[in-house]
A and B are shown apart, each in its own frame.
Chain A
Amino acid sequence: MIEGQFKVIDDYLCIRMPKEIDHHNAEILTKKVDAYIYGKKVNNIVFDFIDTEFMDSSGIGIIAGRYKKMHYLGGKVFILNAGKQVNRILMLSGIQKYVVFMKD
C-alpha cells in the first residue's frame, strides 16, 4: 500500500493521496502527515487527490484534523485534483467551506 508521497515547498506540505482512503490507511497516513507538520516548518497543506479513486469519511477525518492544526498556525488547507467521488464526499461533509479548491 502506498501511504502517499510528500513534498515540502517553502511552508507548504504537498501530499499525494493514495488510491484508496479508508480507516485502514488513514491511520498510517495521519501519522506520517503529523510527523511532517511537526518535523518541518509547515503552515499550509495541499492534499492532491490525483490518484484517489475511493475515499470514505476517514478522509474527512484526516482533512478536518489537519485543518484545525493549520488554522491554529494561521495557514490554510488546499484541495487539488479531486475527482467526482472525492468531491461528493467533500461537499456532503460540509468541509468544503473550510478548504480552498485549487486549479492545477
Chain B
Amino acid sequence: MQINIKRKIKNWMQLEINAISENEQLARIAVASFITPLNPTLEEMADVKTAVSEAVTNAIIHGYEEQSGTVYIRCRLEGDLLEVEIEDKGKGIEDIEQAMEPMYTTKPEGNRSGMGFSFMEAFMDELEVISIPGDGTTVFMKKKLGTASWLDE
C-alpha cells in the first residue's frame, strides 16, 4: 500500500485582468483551478467561485463604473487556507458599512440585487474591505478548505 505523504501546499498566484465583464468568468475559473490541487468539495468550489465573481463584478461595475481599468487578483494557499485579494484602483467606496448592507445597491436600475457583499460574507470564512474614495478598493477574503485535510487524517 502506498503511504500518502502529507505535504503542506504553499502556493500563490497573481492575475491582472482588464475590467470588462467578459473577464468575470475567467477570474472565477482561474481561482477555482488554483484550489483544485486541494481536492475541494463541489460546494467549496462553488463558494469560492461565487465570492470571486461577486468581488470582480463589483470592481468592474462600481470601482471602474464599466470604464477601463485593471482588476488585480492575488491568491495565496498555505496548507488548506486560501486567501484571496481582489483590488481595483477605481473610485472607491464612501460608506463601506452601508455598501455591505444586504440589498443595498447604488445601481437598482441595472438589476443589481445588492447581495454581493452578503454572498462574499456567507461563502467565505472571513471578509475585509478596505477602500479609499478616489483610490480604489481591496477585498480580502479567507476560506479554510477543510475537507481535503480532514480526509487525510
Residues of A within 8 A of B (CB): 20, 22-24, 26-27, 30, 54, 56-58, 60-62, 64-65, 84-85, 88-89, 92-93
* Minimal beta-carbon separation of B17 from chain A (angstroms): 13
Residue of B whose beta carbon sits closest to that of A55:
B50
B24 touches A24 (CB 8 A): yes
What 16 new A-B contacts, CB under 8 Å, besides A54-B28, A61-B113? A22-B24, A22-B57, A23-B61, A54-B46, A54-B50, A56-B54, A56-B57, A56-B119, A57-B114, A57-B115, A60-B113, A65-B111, A84-B46, A85-B50, A92-B122, A93-B113
- B 116-131 binary contact with A (CB < 8 Å = 1; else 0): 1011001000000000
Contact present for B119 and A24 (CB under 8 Å): no
Question: Which residues in B have their C-beta under 8 angstroms from that of A61?
Answer: 110-113
> A65 vs B110: C-alpha distance in the bound complex, in angstroms?
9
CA distance A84 to B50 in the complex (A): 13
CB distance from B24 to the nearest CB of A (A): 5
Chain A residues near B115 (CB-CB < 8 A): 57, 60, 92-93
Q: How far is the CA of A57 from the CA of B24 in the complex (A)?
A: 13
* Number of A-B residue pairs at CB separation under 8 A: 69
Closest residue to B122 on the A side, CB-wise? A92
**Residues of chain B having any CB pair with chain A under 8 Å:** 21-22, 24-25, 28, 42-43, 46, 49-50, 53-54, 57, 60-61, 110-116, 118-119, 122
Chain A residues whose CB sits within 8 angstroms of the CB of B53 once the complex forms: 22-23, 54, 56
Cross-chain contact B116 with A57 (CB below 8 angstroms) = yes
- Chain A residues positioned under 8 Å from B116 (CB to CB): 57
Q: Roughly how many angstroms separate A85 CA and B49 CA in the complex, as a whole number?
A: 11
Closest A residue to B61 using CB positions: A23
- Can you identify 9 A-B contacts, CB atoms within 8 angstroms? A22-B53, A23-B21, A30-B111, A54-B46, A58-B57, A64-B111, A84-B42, A85-B46, A89-B119
Question: Given contacts A23-B21, A24-B24, A27-B21, is CB(A54)–CB(B49) below 8 Å?
Answer: yes
